[in-house]
Amino acid sequence: MTDRYAEHRRIARDLGVDAIALVPGFNFERLYNAGFSSFERPMVIIIPAEGAPVALVPNLELLSFAALGFEGEVFDWRDQTGYSDAFAAMAAHLPLKSLAVEGQVMRVFVHHALATAWPGLRIIDAEKQISGLRLRKTPDEVAALTRAIRLSEAALAETVAAVKVGMTEREVESLLVAALFRNGAQGLAFGPIVAAAGNAAMPHAHARDVALRAGDALLIDFGGRKDGFAADITRTFFIGHADDRAHQVYDTVLRANLAGLAVTRAGISAHEIDDAVISVLEASPFADYIRTKTGHGLGRDVHEAPYIMRGNHEILAAGTVYTNEPGLYIPDEIGVRIEDDVLVTEGGYISLTEYPKDLTVIG
Amino acid sequence: MTDRYAEHRRIARDLGVDAIALVPGFNFERLYNAGFSSFERPMVIIIPAEGAPVALVPNLELLSFAALGFEGEVFDWRDQTGYSDAFAAMAAHLPLKSLAVEGQVMRVFVHHALATAWPGLRIIDAEKQISGLRLRKTPDEVAALTRAIRLSEAALAETVAAVKVGMTEREVESLLVAALFRNGAQGLAFGPIVAAAGNAAMPHAHARDVALRAGDALLIDFGGRKDGFAADITRTFFIGHADDRAHQVYDTVLRANLAGLAVTRAGISAHEIDDAVISVLEASPFADYIRTKTGHGLGRDVHEAPYIMRGNHEILAAGTVYTNEPGLYIPDEIGVRIEDDVLVTEGGYISLTEYPKDLTVIG
């Protein structure tokens, strides 16, 4: 029987620590294929370099926790009595001198409880190593992410088919979220951005009660969440017609997107992809309207490593998924962004996003 | 001019620490009326017991940060060079021996950076005191929360009017989210629960491609998010007709909900409210199907203090908002929950949720 903790034990050995601690979050979900909401109740799994893991679990989660098939001792605690005794019992069961934790996931109150239970414990931040296990997606994970993307694309197609001049941004947003859930989304990856004309030049634009006019660019950045994975897609459409300047802006962004895809393959750095993308925008007449880097990793989390930006010389391995999302943002006039979800392969890439990218006039 | 940090300075003095640290999250949003996504980039505000605050801010957030009208020195840092120098410069500017942090919000990597920048710094967890400032809602906050609730209720009414026998759970969910955004939601408070018959007896049920049948109970638990506040409402409807047993279950849950409201007033404990609610369920023929406590605080976060459960002897002050959401969950048969968002007042309460609670047959 394979040891599902093999990767975590290897990290512990590589770092020279006694054990790895995991708390609820995306690393936990990847390991157990089940999620917990932690809120104010500590829940911790400790995986030693060798031997059985231990867990500290809120009593009210015991039933759900049982479904994980956990292999070791479980120390539960109740709201009425608090968690210090359970931490102490766990420490007595598994003596530790050093522990690696997910520094960007674990919160200070759990850190304090660990430091109290194991006096003198050396706690090191192994975020990079632990979350690094999520960098390379397995075929099953790629399949799940692709399902989230496909349902999101189906929702986009249905929405766009219904858009008409005079409809408001908010009406379009409403059609979009309805289509996402109709197509099987279990949640939204994030609050969608549905923004026309100058509104699309604003970051985190909210849909307004403003009607679409002929000639407007309409930016839609959205994604559905399904079975633990999040899609993140942007397309920019034109209502009724697109003038020459709109064509010029759109074509520049599309060329930047394609330049990023063209250099993508296992072994390239995040810096090199961003450089290929941003260089196209910089060489255009719209260089003053660059606002953002190329993109970010995508998987269980909507924003995860690797960050595709100049200065990040991290090498991308096959199995990495990142968003290629160049944009140009001209204040009070137009915002154009084209965002694909891209799987890095040995020989190149597969765009998991298949929605067409040619300039499209709708409505 | 009033000092917007007066409450935080008072907490620092009460705890005998030099300063309070805040990181992006709901406490930060309450103070500045603006939010930041922190992800992998540390951002920290330090408010000393006396004197000007200081801030550590990622360079790419400087523009948004400027909108806060921050009163003190800002130490920015760039991805390319990392954040340790900025932490060190901040420590040189503001010497500290002790610091209180939000233990359930701040993550370990920020804690480590603080401990490195101020060697020997005593870091204490003041989650209870700092988040405690959110317990009593101001009139403006109640008004904002009420707007989120009203738009959610409007969405529910529009959805319910369209439900028919034979429609699937997923179709109803799709109508609901469309109606939420049409009515002005900027996001979902959480992935809605739209579950009929036995599916409603499952926690965190996902909407299925299963058609509603006459006689089914249909549980809808959902909320829109607007201007920083989250609604959280549950109503349970009956499709076509409701049999005697359905009436009996529904009436029991409704009586439990009303019993909780009846005892609500400033000065009562969370324990006493839960006891009033759960006692009704326990005295019924359905005592075996109790699964949950009465509810939780509600505001910027969907789940916040106070937790309305037996054993929590915390006293509720006027201005507290909590969810009163008793339920009965009979496996493979039915789930009924009725959830109101309740404002505690000196003399009693105001139910911010106004959606009718009489047993309602739809479709």
Say if residue A201 is in the same domain as residue A247.
yes
Q: What is the maximum span of chain A, computed from C-alpha positions, in angstroms?
A: 72
Please report whether residue A145 resides in a domain.
yes
Does the pLDDT value for residue A80 go beyond 80?
no
* CATH number, domain containing residue B20: 3.40.350.10
Q: Give B80's pLDDT tier (boundaries 50, 70, 90).
A: confident
The pLDDT assigned to B292 comes to 87
Between CA B269 and CA B275 the distance in angstroms is: 10
AA identity, residue A166: G
Q: Is A112 on the interface with B (CB under 8 A)?
A: yes
**Partner residues linked to A188 by β-bridges:** A224
Q: In terms of domains, do B180 and B109 share one? A: no
**pLDDT band for position A345 (50/70/90)?**
very high
**Confidence band for A203, pLDDT divided at 50, 70 and 90:** low
Are B201 and B60 found together in one domain?
A: no
Question: Any chain A CB within 8 A of the CB of B285?
Answer: no
H or E element: which one contains B43?
none
User: Is A296 found in the same domain as A229?
Assistant: yes
pLDDT at B349 over 90: yes
Rounded to whole angstroms, the Cα distance separating B227 from B148 reads 8
Residue A213 has a pLDDT of 97
A290 inside domain: yes
Same domain, A73 and A198: no
In B, minimum Cα distance to A301 occurs at B39
Per the CB < 8 Å rule, is B40 touching A179?
A: no
Q: Give the residue numbers spanning the domain of B84.
A: 6-132
Query: Residue A233 has which token pair?
Result: 């897609």
Domain CATH for A227: 3.90.230.10
Rounded to 10 deg, the angle between the A244-263 and A270-282 helix axes is 160
Assembly ipTM: 0.90
Phi, psi dihedral angles at B130 (to 5 degrees): -70, -50
User: Percent of chain A at pLDDT above 70?
Assistant: 99
Answer yes or no: do B226 and B258 share one domain.
yes
Q: What is the mean pLDDT of residues B159-183?
A: 96
Q: In this model, does residue B276 exceed pLDDT 70?
A: yes
State the Cα–Cα distance between residues A59 and A165, nearest whole angstrom.
55
Same domain for A351 and A206 = yes
Same domain, B161 and B76: no
Q: Give one word for B295, left, alpha or beta, with left for phi > 0 and alpha for psi -120 to 50.
A: left
Note whether B181 contacts A188, CB cutoff 8 Å.
no
Task: Examine the domain organization and report whether A302 and A235 are in the same domain.
Answer: yes
Tell me the mean pLDDT in the region A117-130: 97
Residue B45, beta-bridge partner list:
B22, B55
Q: State whether B170 and A178 contact (CB < 8 Å).
A: no
- Tell me: pLDDT of B203 over 70: no
B40 part of contact set with chain A, CB < 8 Å: yes
What is the count of residue pairs from A and B with beta carbons less than 8 Å apart? 110
Question: Residue A202 has what pLDDT?
Answer: 78
Q: Where are the alpha helices (DSSP H) in chain B?
A: 6-15, 26-32, 62-66, 84-93, 108-117, 127-132, 139-162, 169-182, 244-263, 270-282
Rounded to whole angstroms, how far apart are CA atoms A46 and A97? 13
A219: β partners = A195, A236
Mean pLDDT of A147-163: 98
**% residues pLDDT > 70 (chain B):** 99
Nearest residue on chain B to A312, alpha-carbon basis: B80
Amino acid (1-letter code) at residue A5: Y
**In this structure, are B330 and B197 located in the same domain?**
yes
How much is the pTM? 0.91
Q: What is the tens place of the pLDDT at every residue in A11-23? A: 999 999 999 999 9
Last residue in a domain, options A84, A117, A132: A132
Per-residue pLDDT, A1: 59
Confidence of residue B109 (pLDDT cuts 50, 70, 90): very high
Q: Is residue B44 part of a domain?
A: yes
Last residue of one domain, picked from the residues A132, A151, A175: A132
Boundary of a domain, candidates B132, B163, B180 = B132
Whether residue A232 lies inside any domain: the answer is yes
Specify the pLDDT at position B40. 82
Q: What would the mean pLDDT of A306-335 be, rounded to a whole number? A: 95
What's the domain count of chain A?
A: 2
- Cβ of B109 within 8 Å of Cβ of A103? The answer is yes
What is the per-residue pLDDT across B280-302, written as a single tens digit (0 to 9) for each? 999 999 999 998 899 999 999 99
A303 touching B, CB under 8 A?
yes
Q: Is residue B1 part of a domain?
A: no
Does A114 lie in the same domain as A148? Answer: no
A311 vs B contacts (CB less than 8 Å): 79-80
Each residue's pLDDT tens digit, B211-241: 999 999 999 999 999 999 999 999 999 999 9
For A232-249, how does the pLDDT look when each residue is reduced to its tens digit (9 = 90+)?
A: 999 999 999 999 999 999
Q: Could you tell me if residue A1 is inside a domain? A: no
Whether A118 and A225 map to the same domain: the answer is no
Between B19 and B202, name the one with better pLDDT.
Answer: B19
Q: What average pLDDT does range B21-46 have in this prediction?
A: 92
- Specify the pLDDT at position B204: 67
**Nearest-angstrom CA–CA distance, A229 and A301:** 7
pLDDT of residue B58: 92
Is the predicted pLDDT of residue B246 greater than 90, yes or no? yes
**What is the C-alpha to C-alpha distance for residues A106 and A23, in angstroms, rounded to an integer?**
6
Chain B closest CA to A229's CA: distance in Å?
A: 14
Phi, psi angles (nearest 5°) of residue B46: -120, 125
* CB pair distance less than 8 Å for A174 and B178: yes
Q: Is B105 a member of any domain?
A: yes
B175 inside 8 A of chain A by CB: yes
pLDDT given at position B254:
98
User: What is the reported pLDDT for B217?
Assistant: 97
Is residue B244 a part of any domain in this protein? Answer: yes
Cβ pair A186:B178 closer than 8 A: no
Residues A319, A219 contacting (CB under 8 angstroms): no
